[in-house]
Amino acid sequence: MRVRRDQGSWRLSPHEQILKLRDEIRHHDRRYYVDAAPEITDLEYDRLLAKLKSLEQAHPELVTDDSPTQRVGDEPVENLVQVRHQVPMLSIDNTYDLNELRAFLARVQKNVGEQPVAWVMELKIDGVAAALVYENGLLVRAVTRGNGEVGDDVTHNVRTIHDVPLRLIGNPPPRLEVRGEVYMTNSALVQLNLQRSQQNLPAYANTRNVTAGTIRLQDPRICAERHLRFFCHGVGYCESLKSHTHMEFLDELKSFGLPATPHVRLFQSAEEVIDSIDQVQESLFDLDFEVDGLVLKVNRFDLREELGTTSKSPRWVVAYKIEKYEATTKLNEIRVQVGKTGTVTPVAELEPVQLAGTTVSRASLHNAEEISRKDIRVGDWVVVEKAGKIIPHIVRVEKHRREGDLPEFPFPTECPECRQALSKDEGGVYIRCTNRDCPAQLRQKLRFFASRDAMEIDGLGEKIVDQLVEANLVAGYADLYRLTKDQLLTLEGFGARKAEKLLAGVAASKDRGLARVLASIAVRHVGTRVSSILAKKYLSIEALQAATIDDLADTNEVGRTIAQSISDYLHSEYGQQVIAGLRDVGVNMSESPPTNLPAHQKLAGKTIVVTGLLVRYKRDEIERLITDLGGRAASSVSKGTHFVVAGEKAGSKLDKARELEIPVLTEDEFEIFVRG
């Protein structure tokens, strides 16, 4: 119903205004909590919510349970009710041992035979497991895991969590049970402890304990004040889902307005999973919530059904847990150091503290934004953590223990070594010294070049690198191979035997091959795995230099960002000098082609694109066959594509293949090629 205003104009009725505001607020909740892309400020959001509250107070008959204003109940519940899960919430197997993880992945592959197994990697968020039940799109119940069979009804508290939509959007199933983790951010704990200190209450030790206690409180108003969060990662009882894989399922959850677990990765093989673990662990410092491991799940739902469950846990999922150790100590100083690519990294100098059986006196602060985001100041008491192989890092500041008005850390604007102006990555967080001749960069580059994961030069340690640079004997990688015995004998601590040993180690490194060279020369975003993939594909530095960005980007696990970085390096004046210098001193920058490939690997090393409507195969079947035969099923056509399989109504991909003169096969021709 519309209400007429002066001079014949129209305005919305209170009911219509309320509905419009609710939809608008739900939209902004989704943009903030699900998409992580807010469109309005907190102040603007608060004004919308205040306007809705005002309207509902004036028209209480229009208030509904799913309104954004109804996140905090009026009265505490008398007690927590026990609820039986319709589908048990099973625990999952876990291990701290990498060899045990390899064995689990191999066992899964063995149990499904020749079918390829793609793995989804999720972060194991350190919180409290819970299940949310929606009926006809409305949240009706939230239950903790409990003993897996029966849990506590915590609906009154979960309704206060802003991540959790009270009403789903889109076209959800009539009944949907999603499972996930209730957690608290470190920044929320900092603020909570600050408030408690002002009330002369003891501080909480960690986010998980607070979450576990808070979610079971009888008064939802206290829970609302503590700003808990929620991520979905699984499903319980559901009447109908369209998804056939876990990755599709997460997308489906997002389409309903639910917050799916973040930073999820998909790997096509167990080898890719193992190779990625260290890199993933190193990225955890940037998160504002606690992670105590990684969860590996079979992506395809049909394979999960085939694998089944034991009495305690599913056979298609495992947690690789990370041993974590925390301690509280004082931050005495922040200093910066320059890395091999010019990145200026802040380092915390700590009051020595025992952590995991060792004395820790330094911790990485990673970048300037971390210092600002965590509000870390010299003189603060800080919680420092060591997890797995990750070097110690600061988790949070104990602000309730801050003494006085400590000044913010002034991040330098010029390189601490060469004094040239620093620059920030465009769209990034890292600040760099761009001076290629910076002595600090040179030392770090040479140290890495000589390391075990790079050229593995026996006898070339940090101290000797420093001596060589200080004596102006080495100004680049190639100079290492021009060193003479007489030059080394001029350095302190060098005798004939030590000099001969170092020269022998340098000479031996000449034949490490292309993959080692690529991993050694400090190309941004290029580590040992990417180097190995590129070396197997291109086989020589000349072929790599001739590759276009599109060719590089179409390489499995490379992508556009890494391709751009490689191309920029190889075609820059500096990069060309590095390659020419190594070539001049006889460093081998080629790779032998693979030999003795299995007979069934007919598509080994080939990139194939499938397009159009197929008759003989379903799309996932032909892509699985390509993978089984050693090939790569790509989604786009580029110069790196070996051939295209085209069915009926093939569109732009077929046009692109013809434009690039890439061979095109029909289904029958493809069948003859792979079966013949």
* Positions of CATH 1.10.287.610 in the chain: 14-71
Share of the chain above pLDDT 70, in %: 95
Six-digit token pair at 214?
Answer: 């808070």
Six-digit token pair at 432?
Answer: 């760099």
* Positions of CATH 2.40.50.140 in the chain: 324-401
| pLDDT tier, 428 (very low <50, low <70, confident <90, very high otherwise) | confident
What percentage of the chain's residues is helix, strand, coil (to nearest 5)? 40, 20, 40
Residue 639 pLDDT more than 80? no
Six-digit token pair at 666?
Answer: 């029909």
List helix spans (H) across 98-257: 98-112, 155-158, 186-198, 207-214, 220-225, 246-255
Give the pLDDT confidence of 277-323 residue by residue, as tens digits: 887 887 887 889 999 899 999 999 999 999 999 878 899 999 999 88
Where does 439-511 sit in CATH, by number?
Answer: 1.10.150.20
What pLDDT does 76 receive? 67
Residue 543 pLDDT more than 80? yes
* Positions of CATH 1.10.150.20 in the chain: 439-511, 514-584
What pLDDT does 660 receive? 86
What pLDDT does 7 receive? 45
What is the CATH superfamily name and number for domain 514-584? 5' to 3' exonuclease, C-terminal subdomain (1.10.150.20)
For the segment 415-426, the average pLDDT, to the nearest whole number, is: 88
The residue behind tokens 């953590």 is: 385
* Positions of CATH 3.30.470.30 in the chain: 93-321
Give the pLDDT confidence of 139-176 residue by residue, as tens digits: 999 999 998 999 999 999 999 999 999 999 989 999 99
Name the nearest CA neighbour of 367 among 390, 347, 341, 387: 347
- pTM, rounded to two decimals: 0.71
| pLDDT tier, 525 (very low <50, low <70, confident <90, very high otherwise) | confident
Six-digit token pair at 475?
Answer: 């100004």
Residue 94 CB neighbours (<10 A)? 18
Task: Return the amino acid letter for 561.
Answer: T
Give the pLDDT confidence of 227-268 residue by residue, as tens digits: 999 999 999 998 888 899 999 999 999 999 999 999 999 998
* Positions of CATH 3.40.50.10190 in the chain: 607-675
Instruction: Say if CB 451 and CB 460 are below 8 A apart.
Output: no
Residue 8 pLDDT more than 80? no
Q: Write phi, then psi, for 655 (nearest 5 degrees).
A: -60, -40
Residue 363 pLDDT more than 60? yes
Task: Return the amino acid letter for 219.
Answer: D
Enzyme catalytic residues: 124
| pLDDT tier, 388 (very low <50, low <70, confident <90, very high otherwise) | low
| Secondary structure (DSSP) of 585-622 | TT---B-PPP-S--TT-TTTT-EEEEESB-SSS-HHHH
| pLDDT tier, 2 (very low <50, low <70, confident <90, very high otherwise) | very low
For the segment 479-495, the average pLDDT, to the nearest whole number, is: 94
What's the CATH number of domain 324-401, 3.30.360.10, 2.40.50.140, 3.40.50.2300, 3.30.2310.20?
2.40.50.140
What pLDDT does 620 receive? 65
Residue 10 pLDDT more than 70? no
Instruction: Say if CB 267 and CB 276 are below 8 A apart.
Output: yes
For the segment 124-139, the average pLDDT, to the nearest whole number, is: 94
Residue 524 CB neighbours (<10 A)? 18
What pLDDT does 322 receive? 86
For the segment 593-606, the average pLDDT, to the nearest whole number, is: 64
**Is 560 strand, coil or helix?**
helix
Residue 599 pLDDT more than 60? no
For the segment 541-561, the average pLDDT, to the nearest whole number, is: 85
Residues 473, 54: Cα–Cα separation, whole Å: 76
Query: What fold is seen in the domain 607-675?
Result: Rossmann fold (3.40.50)
What pLDDT does 97 receive? 86
Query: Which residues on adjacent β-strands are paired with residue 409?
Result: none
Instruction: Say if CB 617 and CB 582 are below 8 A apart.
Output: no
Q: Write phi, then psi, for 529 (nearest 5 degrees).
A: -70, -50
Torsion of the alpha carbons at 605, 609, 614 and 618, rounded to the nearest 10 = 60
- Give the range among 345-354, 403-412, 601-610, 619-628 with minimum mean pLDDT: 619-628
Residues 629, 642: Cα–Cα separation, whole Å: 14
Where does 14-71 sit in CATH, by number?
Answer: 1.10.287.610
Residues 46, 528: Cα–Cα separation, whole Å: 48
CATH architecture type of domain 93-321: 2-Layer Sandwich (3.30)
Instruction: Say if CB 111 and CB 307 are below 8 A apart.
Output: yes
| pLDDT tier, 9 (very low <50, low <70, confident <90, very high otherwise) | very low
Please give the helix or strand (H or E) that residue 334 lies within, else none. Answer: strand 324-338
Average pLDDT, the chain: 88
Residue 61 pLDDT more than 50? yes
Are β-strands 93-95 and 175-183 bridged in parallel, bridged antiparallel, or unpaired? unpaired
Ramachandran region, residue 276 (left: φ > 0; alpha: ψ -120 to 50; beta: rest): alpha
Give the pLDDT confidence of 38-54 residue by residue, as tens digits: 888 878 888 888 889 88
List helix spans (H) across 456-495: 462-470, 477-480, 485-489
Share of the chain above pLDDT 90, in %: 52
Residues 78, 74: Cα–Cα separation, whole Å: 13
**Is 418 strand, coil or helix?**
coil
Six-digit token pair at 94?
Answer: 């876990």
| pLDDT tier, 3 (very low <50, low <70, confident <90, very high otherwise) | very low
